[in-house]
Structure formats: C-alpha cells, structure tokens
Amino acid sequence: MSRASDRAYTAIRNMILSGELPAGTQLGEEALAEKCSVSRTPVREALRRLEADMLVARTDTQRSYVPEWSLDDVREAFDLRAMLEAYAAHRAAERMTPDSLARLRAANARIAQAIAQPRPDVTAFLEGNRLFHAGILEAAGSRRLVAQLGSLVEQPVVWRTAHHYGPDELRRSWSEHEELIAAFDRRDGAWAHAIMSSHILRAYHAYADAHRGMTGTTGQAKGAASMIPSLGARA
C-alpha cells in the first residue's frame, strides 16, 4: 500500500471512530479525497481496507457508507470479545514476565490519573485502556489472537461506551484492571480468564443501558441510530 493510501485509511478510520462520520453517512470518494488531501485512488484503496475491517459497507449499487449496528450486533461483538480476551488473559497469565507486568501497571496508573481529575479525562482513559489491553495481547504471544481481536477491539463501540461512563464506572474499570494485574502477578490463568470475561460483559451492559436510555427518551429510531456505532473498538 502507498503512503497516500495509508494516510487516507488512517484519516477516514479516525473520522468514523470519533463519530465525525456517523452511521448512515455516504462516503463519496471525491469529498474524502479533498478532506484527506490525496487523490481518489488512495481513498478507493483505503475504503477497501476499511470494508475488510467492517468499518465501511457497500450498497447494491456499490456506494460506500458507514453501517449501523443493532443492539444484537453489539451484543455479539462483546460476546466474541469476552471469549477471545478471556482466553488471551488466561494465556498471558501463564506467560507473564516482570517487564510485561510493569507495563500493565504503568498503563493502569495512566488510567488512574485520567479518572482522578475533577472532570475525568476520557481521552486519556481510552489511551491508557488501549495500552493495557494491548499489553495483555502482547504478553499472550499469539498472532492469531491479535488478528481475531483486531476488528472487534478497534470499533467505535469502545469509544462510545467510555463516553457514557460516569466516574463510578470509570473507577470500576480501573479496579477490574487492578484485579487482572493481581491475577497476572500470581500467574493464575483461571482467575484472569474469569475477571476479563466479566470485565467485557459489564462494559456491554453499560453500553446497552445507555442505548436503552436514549431510545426511551427520544422514542425515535433516529435516537437509537445515533447510539449504534458503525461496524467496526475495549472497555
């Protein structure tokens, strides 16, 4: 892939993940090329990659758009994440090194700092969270897991879930990470597996509660659609 294609891919992906391009948005190559400061060919290549990532879909007439997820789709994604990340945590616990454990502690310390602010820094929380879960995958030492989790973890689901968290939920997420660290420190794969599974499923219920709250308030399909992320991000 060319550098221009990589640049377009990163730019469009970030616009989808951030919600700048919400579900239902038509993705015109010419407009995206202008926005990304590249020609249409790199945009076309980027859209093909994003379609493989399930961040972009095509109509019967081959028009690209940002797809929507139903709540059932979101539940399926979280269920798959719970299974795969729990297995990754089990595997990581059995292979954990002092250096890997130190990196996980540092990532969770960043999360603690982010949520200790008078107004929690959700962006910093998300970055610390990304580093924490990436550290577990690295410790697990499985390229297959990395490939399988890639399309599930880098979805807008995570970004939007975190932005619906209140201070108590952010602290609970940090606390569950601390439990995982304790399990890793003891190389207890079964314990790590159980904590990670509940950690991911709790995040789903936080998302689902926020979704139901919005649909209950608006009573409009449009309100539901604004909560349903485009098909694709971790709690």
The pLDDT value recorded for residue 212 is 72
The pLDDT value recorded for residue 1 is 53
The pLDDT value recorded for residue 230 is 31
* Closest CA relative to residue 68, chosen from 231, 232, 184, 183: 231
When comparing pLDDT for 48 and 14, which is higher?
Answer: 48
Is 234's pLDDT higher than 60? no
C-alpha to C-alpha distance for 217 and 199, rounded to whole angstroms: 28
Is 14's pLDDT higher than 50? yes
What's the pLDDT tens digit per position in 95-117? Answer: 999 999 999 999 999 999 999 99
Overall pTM surpassing 0.75 (yes/no): no
Give the position of tokens 């990754």.
88
Which 8-state DSSP code applies to residue 165? -
Is 7's pLDDT higher than 80? yes
The Cβ of residue 34 has, within 10 Å, a number of other Cβ atoms equal to: 12
Q: Which residues of 6-30 are buried (b: 16+ CB within 10 A; e: fewer)?
A: eebbebbbebbbebebbbebebebe
* Closest CA relative to residue 203, chosen from 77, 43, 30, 62: 77
* Closest CA relative to residue 234, chosen from 89, 93, 120, 98: 89
Q: What are φ and ψ of residue 58, in 5° steps?
A: -125, 145
What domains appear along the chain, each with residue ranges and CATH number?
Answer: 3-65 (1.10.10.10), 71-227 (1.20.120.530)
What's the pLDDT tens digit per position in 29-76? Answer: 999 999 999 999 999 999 999 988 778 999 999 999 998 877 887 888
What's the pLDDT tens digit per position in 121-165? Answer: 988 998 999 899 999 999 999 998 988 886 665 555 666 667 667
C-alpha to C-alpha distance for 235 and 229, rounded to whole angstroms: 15
C-alpha to C-alpha distance for 53 and 39, rounded to whole angstroms: 22
What's the pLDDT tens digit per position in 203-220? Answer: 888 878 876 765 444 444
The pLDDT value recorded for residue 225 is 34
